[in-house]
Amino acid sequence: MKVTQPRPSLPVTQPTTPAAPPPPIDVKAPADAFGPAAPARLLPTATPAATGVGTITSDRTTWVREGASGATVSDLQQKLKDAGFDPGPIDGKFGAKTREALLKFQQSKGIGVDGIVGPETRAALLGEPLPPKPTPSGGEAPSGPSGPSGPVAPGGPSGAAASGLEAVALKKHGPEFVQKVKEMSARLGVRPEWMLAVMQNESGMDPWRKNPNGGATGLIQFMPATAKALGTTTDALAKMSATEQLTYVEKFYSSFKGRMKSGSDMYLATFWPAAVGKGDDYKIGGAEVAKANPAFDLNKDGQITAGEFREYYQKRFPNMAGGAPAPSSGPSSSSGGKTDFNVAQAEAAVRKNTARNTQFTMEEIKRDPDAFLKTVVQVDGLAKTSNDATSCGPTSMLMGMIAGRPESIQELASKLVDANGNVTPAGQKLFGPDANSGLLKECVKRIRDGKFSAADVTFMAEGLYASTGSPSGGTNANDLIALRSAITSLGVSVPRMELQQFGSADGGLGHWRVGVNGKQYNPWPDKKGQASIISGPSGLADGASDGVKWTNREKLYLDDNMVMRNVYSITTKDTPTSAGRTWAVTDDPPLFIARYDRQPDGSFKRSELNMARMQQVADGKVTMDDANKVFTDIPARSVS
């Protein structure tokens, strides 16, 4: 499952008047996993405009955060230093010191404090006007922080109230924060807008907000004793980004799971936990509480009751206070390939699937790959989830290798660990920070020896994701192309496969699957903790049912030496030069068809690009320079 947040895609500019391109060349695109593709009309590649590579300016289409490195980070560090915020040495490494300086810079500018260089922060660093604030349809976004005495009151219908709060959250903290709120809400069985309303009312969604009276800190104003009970401190919370702090928000509310039937219930859990589920006559504290929170004491008798609190909430949030049923966690799971992306449920289902621990010999897998692959999933079944929630890309690639040529995964394992189970230099590079994991080494050693389980494949995929995933989370097309090239550079011939990404058209959560030999394999577990295997073209259409209003975003046709990348959905959301327009189509031809050829050094160079459909859908408002910022050449990953 992807990705909390893929890199923002395509800034749109007014077209210039380019020189007439050479005549198009007819090229036959490779057949996909479900049948022959139509001929593609490929336009020769234009030369990218000089944009000052390695600067914050040139990286307008990326999000820069902790863990990144290179010239862009050096430029960021210098700009922070020039602004009076010490990032430590100008070494091109985005570490804790740089992040601390960036957080302070963001706070000083009154922009989203998340430790990430997105469009708003980039504009502030460059001294440019801030990107326009998103305006929700049907109602204005709530304005400004406020305490209980002056809360924000979203107006309009419930959808407008929710979109208004979401717009504020996007403005302050970006799409990763909003997506995490939605995922947490699904696990807790509440509506995301209920949670956002509490955070806006308590702190203005400011993770650093501290109440001088009592020391309440952060998004939902954690009291010192509450923070201690959650395993942290208010000082530690104040050093976290908003997205990081959400972990403790969820931990706090988890004890009320199933008891928060309305927005007022959720707010009561925050303000006076003992009042949750109590009748309207229940008295909340005494005169001191009423004096400190006069907005809740509606009859001004010096006492707040649960009924008064609910009435207050009803007036302030008229479309969110009622007991409407909590949202489902997404489309229900089924053997037909639909997924719900509820991590807790997926982990529990996988733990019950004991067949995933059964070891198969290579000969058994070659006789019936699907019998093995039906228990290969990206979720590991451990109580504490980390990489498996977003490692669908590498898991899909390993599934494709097994489906197309089972020996290839054994050959890869033999390059990553030696006969004694020690990680090789190549393994150190491909597994990155997970290279010293004892569990990972044992799993890869079993694959190397030719008798292994589906669980072993899951852990190997997690190890590959540790060094492959984007800094923003998840894996994008370039990450998977680079991983494929790295595997090829080790002398392992990987079978041809089609990687398919489905997701929301606005660039949010997405999910990779793989097509091989006319079948589609989905690594996210269904209710039985198994992968889904679908034969024929229905598999492609079914992928869109992973999420509400999802679409096929991309297809990658991968060979050892060539890649065809078909892009069906483009978003300009949160890019500095656009108004946030989204283009999405689900029918052929795709918006873009790009071809990449592998070079002797392992890099992939884009050789051709067809953007005729994109121009048609966008009324000609996309230039070749715009496209060059998205379809860049892909550097080699040296692992030998």
Position 175 confidence tier, pLDDT thresholds 50, 70, 90: confident
Q: Across 251-367, where does the E strand assignment appear?
A: 283-284, 304-305, 360-361
Q: What confidence score (pLDDT) does residue 474 get? A: 76
Say what the pLDDT of residue 100 is: 82
Q: Which residue did the predictor score with more confidence, 153 or 538?
A: 538
What pLDDT is recorded for position 304? 93
Query: What does the alpha-carbon distance between residue 326 and residue 306 come to, in Å, rounded to a whole number?
Result: 21
Quick one: what percent of the chain has pLDDT higher than 70?
Answer: 74
Calculate mean pLDDT across residues 452-474: 83
Could you say which DSSP state residue 326 is in? P
pLDDT, position 280: 87
Q: In this predicted structure, which of 88-92, 310-314, 510-514, 565-569 has the lowest mean pLDDT?
A: 310-314
Q: Please say if the pLDDT value at position 289 is more than 50.
A: yes
pLDDT of 256 > 90? The answer is: no
Per CATH, 71-117 and 190-316 having the same topology is answered no
Position 577 pLDDT exceeds 50: no
| Percent of the chain predicted with pLDDT > 90 | 28
Q: Residue 446 pLDDT > 90, yes or no?
A: yes
Categorize the per-residue pLDDT at 385 as very low, low, confident or very high, splitting at 50, 70 and 90. low
Helix axis angle, 263-271 relative to 306-316, nearest 10°?
120
- Per-residue pLDDT band at 492 (split at 50, 70, 90): very high
Q: Average of pLDDT values for 259-282?
A: 88
Classify strands 360-361 and 451-452 as parallel, antiparallel or unpaired. Answer: antiparallel
Specify the pLDDT at position 186.
Answer: 82
CA distances from 470 to 7, 59, 241, 619 (A): 8, 15, 19, 32
Pick 306 or 67 by higher pLDDT: 306
The residues spanned by each domain of the chain are 71-117, 190-316, 343-630
Give the residue among 205, 252, 204 at the shortest CA–CA distance from 225.
252
Q: Around 266, how many Cα atoms within 13 Å sit in the side-chain half-sphere?
A: 32
Q: Which helix (H) or strand (E) holds 225?
A: helix 224-229
Give the tokens for residue 338. 């639909």
Region 323-330 average pLDDT: 36
**In the predicted model, is pLDDT for residue 605 greater than 60?**
yes
Which of 186 and 340 is assigned the larger pLDDT?
186
Rounded average pLDDT over 333-356:
73
Look up the pTM and report it: 0.52
Predicted confidence (pLDDT) at residue 579 exceeds the cutoff of 70: no
Q: How confident is the model at residue 134 (pLDDT cuts 50, 70, 90)?
A: very low
Confidence label for 154 from pLDDT (cuts 50, 70 and 90): very low
Residue 146: predicted pLDDT: 30
Q: What is the pLDDT of residue 201?
A: 84
Give pLDDT, residue 572: 61
Using pLDDT thresholds of 50, 70 and 90, give the confidence band for residue 29.
Answer: very low
Choose the most confident range, by mean pLDDT, from 139-143, 185-189, 416-420, 491-495.
416-420
- How far is 237 from 242, CA to CA, in rounded Å? 9
Architecture per CATH, 71-117: Orthogonal Bundle (1.10)
**pLDDT confidence of residue 27:** 30
Tell me what the pLDDT averaged over the chain comes to: 76
Using the predicted structure, report yes or no on whether residue 372 has a pLDDT greater than 60: yes
Distance CA 259, CA 150 (A): 27
Mean pLDDT, to the nearest integer, of 24-49?
29
Q: How far is 328 from 248, CA to CA, in rounded Å? A: 22
Pairing verdict, β 25-27 and 40-44: antiparallel
Protein fold of 190-316: Lysozyme (1.10.530)
The predicted pLDDT at position 390 comes to 83
Q: Is residue 44 over pLDDT 80? A: no
Q: In which band, very low, low, confident or very high, does the pLDDT at 340 lie, cut at 50, 70 and 90?
A: low
Q: Lowest-confidence range among 125-134, 165-174, 409-418, 631-640?
A: 125-134
pLDDT of 526 higher than 50: yes
Pairing of strands 497-504, 25-27: unpaired
Most confident of 503-507, 542-546, 560-564: 560-564
More confident residue, 377 or 35: 377
Using 50, 70 and 90 to split pLDDT, how confident is the model at 541? low
Separation of alpha carbons 583 and 587, rounded Å: 12
Residue 564 phi, psi dihedral angles, 5° rounding: -110, 125
